[in-house]
Homo-oligomer: A and B are copies of this chain.
């Protein structure tokens, strides 16, 4: 089993009101580079930013790393448009960062990115792949791609209160800027990504398509962003078996919508609850309050944890949080609750 993790950026994450507005949004472009360092080394190495919200909620990379420490699995990080350099080893497939989806073209080289990713996916000898993502702004670009495909679209958020109306307005603007109506890209999913997507989407989709073609079992490790990739694959006529593995935090927020989407796109759904409610640790409390929820392959990684080992993952997460500078006790300052819906400094996107 290998976790393949395309990492990239889109200027869409900088749009006011759906992202970490007000708390140094320019730091957010460091987040994927820091995430993959945490996944590889257990802490940021070259990154000047540690993706922890002001409330003490760490990036999901910390959870995925905790699982990796306990379970052990191979990782291949794909540079799918990183803006900032990273000290983590990455596979270069030649893509660049994405532009604001309100521009005419959001991912000009979407088809080329898909093709290179497809070749990579076919070449891997692994029996089974999980494919995750880290791209701030990714739930907004998921919403816009689903809309361009004409699919019913509900997307998650890394914030406890999902700014979904704001996202829908941005998506409306994005489609208009590309002269698209909802559903116009029904038969052309790569055109949907090119117009209103992000550069991680064609990379995830291409690796998945190539691996499926080679007979490799593929699990999309994530929430609503992976629903969008599944939609892209189905609209591309790929009907091989496909799974989605996500966290209970996404499933709780999405209610029946997630299962309905998985049924619609013929994806097996696995939801894993890491049992964070059993700990007083601030990081786990923040996840239970709805922050972060998913990302960096978190849900897929959690699905690998054998029965009886989840407590070890929580123990390990506490150790990693200490390294990331998060105090280990429960929240003892009630004022932090007031900013629970606030932006995350250098944190994950909308």
Copies in the complex: 2
Cβ-based interface call for A241 (8 A): no
A72 to B73, CA, bound (A): 10
A125 to B42, CA, bound (A): 8
A123 to B87, CA, bound (A): 9
Interface residue total, chain A, C-beta cutoff 8 A: 25
Q: Which segment, of A88-96, A160-168, A186-194, A278-286, faces chain B?
A: A88-96
Given contacts A45-B123, A124-B45, contact A85 B92 (CB under 8 A): yes
Taking CB atoms, residues of chain B closer than 8 Å to A75 are 89
Cβ-based interface call for A120 (8 A): yes
A:60-119 near B, CB below 8 Å: 72, 74-77, 85, 87-92, 119
Taking CB atoms, residues of chain B closer than 8 Å to A74 are 40
**Interface pair A125/B45, CB less than 8 Å apart:** yes
Taking CB atoms, residues of chain B closer than 8 Å to A318 are none
Cβ-based interface call for A35 (8 A): no
A:26-69 near B, CB below 8 Å: 40-43, 45-46
Interface positions of A (Cβ within 8 A of B): 40-43, 45-46, 72, 74-77, 85, 87-92, 119-120, 123-126, 323
